[in-house]
Amino acid sequence: MTLFEALSINKEMLNRLHEFGAKPDDCRYIDLYRDYQSMREGGEKVTYIVTVLSERYHVSERKVYSLVKRFGQHCTLGAV
């Protein structure tokens, strides 16, 4: 299967995700956000969580804050 074929098969879903404001590499950070949620439920402070996740996933703290904000928003059409 070529990349073109894979994209063609999933075109409708990909277009919908784009309309909801998803970025192409967001799937790489699903585990990061799950870790964030579980740490918040555990009572950890946001600043501590961001520092830990930044080191664990090798991204900047600014990236973690950005992901947490975006992943926590409700999906709406035209969110881009």
Sequence spans of domains, the chain: 3-71
> What is the DSSP-derived secondary structure letter of residue 75?
P
- CA 31, distance to chain mean position in Å, is 9
Give this prediction's pTM. Answer: 0.82
Mean pLDDT (the chain, rounded): 92
pLDDT digits (tens, 9 = 90+) for 36-72: 999 999 999 999 999 999 999 999 999 999 999 999 9
Tokens found for residue 16: 């919908």
pLDDT digits (tens, 9 = 90+) for 9-43: 999 999 998 888 888 899 999 999 999 999 999 99
Tokens found for residue 44: 């950890």
Taking CB atoms within 8 Å and a gap of at least 24, the contacts of 20-28 are 20/75, 20/76, 20/77, 20/79, 21/70, 21/73, 21/75, 21/76, 21/79, 21/80, 26/67, 26/70, 26/71
